[in-house]
Structure 1
Amino acid sequence: TGFGFGGELVQDPNTNLGASGLAQFMLGAVASGGRGSYTGVMWKPYERFRYWGFYLQDDFRITSKFTLNLGLRYDINGLYKTRHGPASNFCLECPNNVTGLKGKTIYEGDPEWPGGGSDIAPPNWKNIGPRVNFAWALNQKTIIRGGYDIFYSNAFAGINSPGQSAANSPGWNQEYDWQGSFYPNQCAPFSGQCVAFPLSDTAIDKGSLTTPPLPSTFPGANRDPLIGIGLLQFFTPPPHDPMVQSWNLQVERELPGNMMISVGYVGSHGTHLVGEQFRQFNYVHTRDLLNYRTTIDANIPITDVYSGKTATLLGQTYAGHDGVPVTELPRSLLLKDYPFYGALSSLQNNTAFDGTSIYHGMNLRLQKQYSHGLSFIAAYTVSKKITNAVAGNAAAMLVDPIHWARSGNLGGRGLNWAGGGGDIFQDFDNKNADRAIAIDDIPQMFNLAVTYELPFGNGKPFANRKGVLNTILGGWHLTNNFNAQSGLPLSINGPCTELMNHGNSGRTGVCRQNLIGDPKFSGNRTKEERIQQWINPAAFEPAFGSDENFWANYDPTDDRAWRFGNAGLHLPGIRSPGFWNLDAALAKQFHLTERRYFEFRWEVFNALNHQNLGLPDTNWCLPPRSDGSTDLVHQDGCKFGRITNIQTDPRAMQFALKFYW
């Protein structure tokens, strides 16, 4: 708990004079404060998670040239249960025993408790995963392989790993906190207690000597002004676990020179994927915004306060919340699904687990077995992945673990993800609008690993001698690993309007801009030009009419105030800079006996000292205007499109001497 004392007395419109903090403390005139706590508990010793898996698998040799591999797996993903005492959760549709409004805390053993067991919810019993694979030898040099399988994942397993705060604990968690500035002339209508944040943009003098005493309960930044409850996190059991179907077909052919070539196709389709880990759903729906715009006080900003009954404002029957008297509350608050609660988030069955994905890839591989001092493996992949599951790494890994692993770590020195906070649904009512190229989509990838024994020493074309000369020159092996790949998709975010940020609308997602041009520069540009401006800022304009004075010039007929930006989750035609790197090593063994020997290694990382550019800044803004003025769009220190980091370290060498016995 903390309090701030320091009243402000305004004498000159252009000058703020601060009062004595000590005097304010002695008078009890509290200007600001903060306190927070959670009902949840830490994860480590108190919660348990159970999993059972069963499988059968066997090979069936149909003919001498055709073999089937058949399997069946059954997964039971249990949900969380508490170790000591009953678990708790929250039921949105259950009537509260005290207020009669929707929303009630439920405990293990209550009639509303799902499944009636000790788990937060009963497990899913339908996770049956078949596997069908085959190998067909057309002749002694050609083999065709293929397969199809289904596997499941438990998205709950990654929630609240050890060490996370109680706020993210499974079950029912309520945040009790308040913070901000006190406004003595504005008090909650039901209790007479002052609220910490103003409910309109009206200027109110702060620091009055008549500031009332600190209330015992205090609505804060994220607490509902009516009942004083803040962030609520709970779990609703999904009807399905995340599922991925995968299939592949590959042709292998033996070539002369101890080489083998293979061409393959790999596909996967994910359903019931995690769209968001914790889904915020207590917000003003787009349909309600449009209804408000066309039928209800269209000329009054939705952030203005309202006094009356909810039925009068909403103009419709609102089950459980109809006809409740309110005084000076934001209109947007009363348009929520659950206006008497603050932020509500849940792993919810029909919202959080509605992500889908599709992946197609072609793999080309050429391999040479060691002969004449040379062996190598070359692999080239062309692929594309599309998804609307924007939960981040978990969803990406679930869709295609192999591709995810490759793109997520470029040899330990590459970038991991692009897009940052953009991977959040912009419009919860239209999540398919965020169906786009996946965050880890890499359309092209090439890898080459080579081992070559230098042609010097006994039995080699050069310096074919025994003795000391062979000891010095013979037996050296040169290895290298070269990899190159395309850049990652980019997600552009920008300033939101008052419609998104103000009035407790509950829309806590991201704001994307209107795409009005090509974000990729045309023509040849120098490296310095690309570093300073990788993305064309003129390709965007503010969405929602982003302006600090938006409501002062409010026009209900202005479509920008009621629509989302048209820029997609990831932009077409522009990505982060590509990547390529070469690591090399030179090694030789010095044998004392057959089993005892020294090995010397000289390893060089980023052997060509190539600089791979990093990610550009994707927070859209423009520099200050010519007169130096700024607003939500024109910002001091704007770095949009600028690259300020690199993906790879400078060239580094290391030497090693090992003894084997």
Structure 2
Amino acid sequence: MRNDQGDVKIDYTLSAHDSIMARYSQGEAADATPKTPIAITFPGTNSYPFKGIALNWVHTFSPRIVNEARGGWSRVRWVQSIPQDTTGVFGTNGNSIVGINAAQPYPGFALQDFSNSQAISGQSASNQTYYTNFGTFGGGSSLIDNTFTYGDDLSLQLNKHNVKVGVEILRYQQNNFYPGNDGVMGRIQYAGAFTGSNVADFVTNNIYYAGIAGDVGRSGQRQYRDAAFIQDDWKVTSNLTLNLGMRYEFDQPIYEVNNKQGNVDLTTGVYYEAGAAGAAAAFGDARALYHPTYTNFMPRVGFSYQPKPRMVIRGGYGITNYLEGTGANLRLNFNPPFQPAYTYTAVAASATSAGTPLTVQTAIPTDVSGSLSSNTYRAWDKHLKPAFIQEFTLSTEYQLDNKTSVVLGYVGQTGQHLIDARAGNQLTAPGTTAPYATLVGQNGSVVVTETESMMNYNAAQLQMRRRQSNGLEYQINYTFAKAMTNNPGFFGTASVNGASPYWQNGYNGHADYGPSGFDTRHNMSATAVYALPFGHGKQFGGNSNWLVNEVAGGWKITGTAMAYSGLPVTITGPNSTSVNNKTARANHYQHLKIANRTLNNWFGTDNTVNHPVPIKTVTNGVTITKTINGCTTTSAQSYGCAYGPTTGNEFGSAAVGTERAPGYEQIDLTAGKAFTIYHEQALEFRADFFNAFNIASYKNPDNGIADSNFGQISDVRSPQRQIQFSLHYAF
């Protein structure tokens, strides 16, 4: 990895009333190409160059009136995951060498995927033989972002009022090529759908899933974000200050500079390209293909009140609006024919059918052109809105003595119009006609981006702070909180087995309401700094000689500690429905009683429960036997299971985040001192101990009840102990 950065800055005073600043920044980050002994994997290289200019001019009209004007430009270029053939065995003829009849823009050959990431309805992942993937899907993406910033702030001091008004204009230019999850080289997947083993499917040339995207180059999306604000800090009395403000912002609907994007009218099911006849009538904006929002008013109110010398009460309320980002492949410029894509999902073999597998020779089309029809479309709700976030705080700080204070506070937040992704072509009931069957077919996909999600957060916070006294200072923070939502966002929550970004039932978002991915009931952190009382000018060793003082005097110890309770776990299960939904949860029958908990079985092995209830009869006379959590579920009914697979065309009854993962603990320590050499010259020594006691804090357990490793924890969230020594010369 190489990362070079540099800045040039000029500050110049033009006159007693004017000063200017100019800065130019440039950076280049790139990865070295790793070497592979056998060219069956093709590592990607990355490059991230950056350039930026910032300008600032401050003009003082008078001691009470000051104006600040600013402008800037930044350019980020992101070229990521470009495959490299490090041994030169395959080059750009790799597909033909291994028998795949498809052109290729990069060296290597199409990805041979054994992960079974394309879930097979009703099939247990425990039946799969996992094998290392090889080849490359050619997921190289190319992004150029230009951001232009213009702003002006005017500050006026008027008796008891400190007023600030300003405007801000942001211009976004995003030129992006993203080939999706299947890439421009293509993905060929073996899922055990025909022999029961993905390796056996590979040997017998039976492919379950194939996909590839067209190599069409960048599209260019554009947007202005304009805002104006006024803020008044009003000193009402000597012990009461009010903060009153209002901000208004307009987010221009995002459009493609050459009209290379399209949208589906969710009411009529008609697909429109930008600028086409009827697009303005259908969406309100013929280029962006969704309505603008003109109601982004954001009031701010706050106060600080000191009823007595040792106590301060603070509170505030504010509204924030912002248009959330989404995954690149949910953008409207990713629609055909502007970003053509081909996908094929086979029908798995059954007792009465051999299924519909593809072969390597026929899996990927030889041409993925703009005229290729697609069974997947992206759609944005024509009434897409910026997120509407309200936040309210109330706290009191009390000074126990001249060195110690305590803060007790409440923080609350609610959010509406949050982004969610929905399976738009989901059937309303098994056997019904799909809503957009005429556009994408009965089993096709319309991925809808809408703003129908919500969240809320409530927290009590306690803080104790001790200012430096006798060489010791510290701060302790504790939060008791609850965060709830019905959608984790398109990217979910990293390293958390939480809810899917898609609702299980696209017509009932409330059923996905539960703890957010980062919901922690208890969260504590602490920092402390202690200057050891030994050495010249200290309590002990004040008369020690030079050598003793240099060795033992002037040391400072710093410590940080953090601990929080476990993150939520959502129990998922095989998808037994036939309604085109994108995620599935297990059935939840009763409270999970955990006993004999280990890392190999985080949910325990106890098969007794407080209130046994029978499991529903399996439909169509099919008998399912599955050992889960130490209990066995069979045909008609069984007792003792907290969770089980769904049986037939039903949604899993398990809610989001019903179980919890292990908590987290970490303590870091630092010791250091400065060794004086001559006058102001010194050597500063420092020793850092990260996770000093090597505490293992574990990640979430596997959460799929049909997985052979259900309930097992195989990795840690915490870093291993790391010790770092450093020496700095100060002069």
Q: Same fold (TM over 0.5)?
A: yes
The farther-off stretch of 52-61 and 479-488 is 52-61
Question: Counterpart amino acid of 2:437?
Answer: Y
1:642 aligns with 2:712: yes
Q: 3-state DSSP class of the match of 2:568?
A: coil
Question: Counterpart amino acid of 1:111?
Answer: G
The answer to whether the Cα contact below 8 Å between 1:142 and 1:253 also exists between their aligned partners in 2 is yes
Q: 3-state DSSP class of the match of 2:496?
A: coil
1:519 aligns with 2:592: yes
Question: Hey, what's the Cα distance between the residues in 1 that align with 2:262 and 2:553?
Answer: 72
Q: Which residue of 1 aligns with 2:725?
A: 655
The answer to whether the Cα contact below 8 Å between 2:564 and 2:665 also exists between their aligned partners in 1 is yes
Which residue of 220, 231, 238 maps to 1:46?
220
TM-score normalized with structure 1 length: 0.67
1:77 aligns with 2:227: no
How many pairs does the alignment contain?
Answer: 503
The answer to whether the Cα contact below 8 Å between 1:167 and 1:174 also exists between their aligned partners in 2 is no
Q: 3-state DSSP class of the match of 1:432?
A: helix
The answer to whether the Cα contact below 8 Å between 1:175 and 1:232 also exists between their aligned partners in 2 is no
**Structure 1 or 2: more strand by fraction:** 2
Deviation (angstroms), 1:421: 6.1
Q: Which residue of 1 aligns with 2:342?
A: 177
Deviation (angstroms), 1:49: 2.9
Rate the CA distance shift 1:478–1:598 in 2: closer, same or farther, 3 A: same
Q: Which residue of 2 aligns with 1:432?
A: 510
Question: Hey, what's the Cα distance between the residues in 2 that align with 1:461 and 1:338?
Answer: 83
Deviation (angstroms), 1:80: 1.9
Q: Which residue of 2 aligns with 1:292?
A: none
Provide, for residues 448-490 of structure 1, a one-character-per-residue CA deviation record: whole Å limited to 9, x for no partner.
1000011111232322224412222211000000111101000
Deviation (angstroms), 1:110: 2.1
Rate the CA distance shift 1:151–1:439 in 2: closer, same or farther, 3 A: same
Deviation (angstroms), 1:67: 0.6
Counterpart mapping for 1:181-200 below 5 A? none
Structure 1, gaps ≥5 residues long? 5-12, 25-29, 95-101, 182-196, 221-226, 290-301, 303-331, 397-415, 622-634
TM-score normalized with structure 2 length: 0.61
Counterpart mapping for 1:449-460 below 5 A? 449-460=527-538
Rate the CA distance shift 1:429–1:199 in 2: closer, same or farther, 3 A: farther
Counterpart mapping for 1:24-39 below 5 A? none
Counterpart mapping for 1:74-473 below 5 A? 74-85=248-259, 87-94=261-268, 102-113=269-280, 114-116=283-285, 118-155=287-324, 157-160=325-328, 169=334, 175-177=340-342, 179=344, 202-203=352-353, 229-276=374-421, 279-285=422-428, 288-289=429-430, 302=431, 334-342=433-441, 343-348=444-449, 352-391=450-489, 416-420=494-498, 422-468=500-546, 469-473=548-552
Rate the CA distance shift 1:591–1:108 in 2: closer, same or farther, 3 A: same
Question: Hey, what's the Cα distance between the residues in 1 that align with 2:211 and 2:234?
Answer: 63
The answer to whether the Cα contact below 8 Å between 2:472 and 2:531 also exists between their aligned partners in 1 is yes
**Structure 1 or 2: more helix by fraction:** 1
Rate the CA distance shift 1:609–1:216 in 2: closer, same or farther, 3 A: closer
Q: 3-state DSSP class of the match of 2:549?
A: helix
Deviation (angstroms), 1:3: 5.6
* Percent sequence identity over aligned pairs: 23
Q: 3-state DSSP class of the match of 1:120?
A: coil
Q: 3-state DSSP class of the match of 1:475?
A: coil
The answer to whether the Cα contact below 8 Å between 2:336 and 2:377 also exists between their aligned partners in 1 is no
Question: Hey, what's the Cα distance between the residues in 1 that align with 2:381 and 2:293?
Answer: 13
The answer to whether the Cα contact below 8 Å between 1:92 and 1:104 also exists between their aligned partners in 2 is no
Rate the CA distance shift 1:39–1:654 in 2: closer, same or farther, 3 A: closer
1:617 aligns with 2:702: yes
Rate the CA distance shift 1:238–1:173 in 2: closer, same or farther, 3 A: farther
The answer to whether the Cα contact below 8 Å between 1:60 and 1:68 also exists between their aligned partners in 2 is yes
Deviation (angstroms), 1:147: 0.2
Q: Which residue of 2 aligns with 1:319?
A: none
Rate the CA distance shift 1:545–1:438 in 2: closer, same or farther, 3 A: farther
Provide, for residues 419-471 of structure 1, a one-character-per-residue CA deviation record: whole Å limited to 9, x for no partner.
15645311112211111111110111111100001111123232222441222
Q: 3-state DSSP class of the match of 2:437?
A: coil
- Bigger relative contact order, structure 1 or 2 (CA pairs below 8 A, ≥6 apart): 1
Question: Hey, what's the Cα distance between the residues in 2 that align with 1:254 and 1:216?
Answer: 71
Question: Counterpart amino acid of 1:68?
Answer: L
Provide, for residues 559-600 of structure 1, a one-character-per-residue CA deviation record: whole Å limited to 9, x for no partner.
9434322211111xx311111111001010112345322100
Deviation (angstroms), 1:105: 2.9
Question: Counterpart amino acid of 1:71?
Answer: G
Provide, for residues 129-186 of structure 1, a one-character-per-residue CA deviation record: whole Å limited to 9, x for no partner.
000010001122111000000001212x3442xxx699973797675535477xxxxx
The answer to whether the Cα contact below 8 Å between 1:89 and 1:172 also exists between their aligned partners in 2 is no
Question: Hey, what's the Cα distance between the residues in 2 that align with 1:353 and 1:165?
Answer: 14
Which residue of 554, 561, 564 maps to 2:648?
561
Question: Hey, what's the Cα distance between the residues in 2 that align with 1:341 and 1:282?
Answer: 8
Q: 3-state DSSP class of the match of 2:550?
A: helix
The answer to whether the Cα contact below 8 Å between 1:150 and 1:245 also exists between their aligned partners in 2 is yes
Provide, for residues 83-105 of structure 1, a one-character-per-residue CA deviation record: whole Å limited to 9, x for no partner.
235643333545xxxxxxx5233
Rate the CA distance shift 1:546–1:245 in 2: closer, same or farther, 3 A: farther
Question: Hey, what's the Cα distance between the residues in 2 that align with 1:459 and 1:367?
Answer: 26
Question: Hey, what's the Cα distance between the residues in 2 that align with 1:198 and 1:474?
Answer: 74
Question: Counterpart amino acid of 1:491?
Answer: T
Counterpart mapping for 1:529-544 below 5 A? 529-536=597-604
The answer to whether the Cα contact below 8 Å between 1:544 and 1:563 also exists between their aligned partners in 2 is no
Structure 2, gaps ≥5 residues long? 1-94, 103-194, 625-633, 637-645
Question: Hey, what's the Cα distance between the residues in 2 that align with 1:365 and 1:581?
Answer: 19
CA RMSD of aligned residues (A): 4.2
Q: 3-state DSSP class of the match of 1:592?
A: strand
Question: Hey, what's the Cα distance between the residues in 2 that align with 1:443 and 1:591?
Answer: 47
Q: Which residue of 2 aligns with 1:483?
A: 562
The answer to whether the Cα contact below 8 Å between 2:419 and 2:451 also exists between their aligned partners in 1 is yes
